[in-house]
Amino acid sequence: MKYTKEFMYQNQYEWASSNQHGDRYKRTTPKKITIGILSCTLTDPKLADLVLLSNILDIPVKFDFGKQEAFIKLVAGKAVL
């Protein structure tokens, strides 16, 4: 099983003003979100652990049959100390 990371920037908007056409919003600093990816090949014995972990966390296991791997993506709301 291997762990990799990818990043996503979520745009955030705040109310600026309103006119006859409706409200206007301006984009503020985007929030950086780190996404952890746990993956393993379909022939790896750790595949059962990945499926069990996905069942406990209630997230789907995704399969990439071209690369012959299964993976789950994890995002945390807050840091765990």
**pLDDT, tens digit, for every residue of 20-47?**
888 888 888 888 888 999 999 999 999 9
> What does the pLDDT read at residue 77?
72
Token pair, residue 60, equals 């789907």
Q: For 28-72, give the DSSP string.
A: -PPEEEEEEEEEEETT-TTHHHHHHHHHHHT---EEETTTTEEEE
> What does the pLDDT read at residue 39?
94
How many Å apart are CA 72 and CA 46, to the nearest integer? 13
**pLDDT, tens digit, for every residue of 37-77?**
999 999 999 999 999 999 999 999 999 999 999 999 998 77
pTM of the model: 0.68
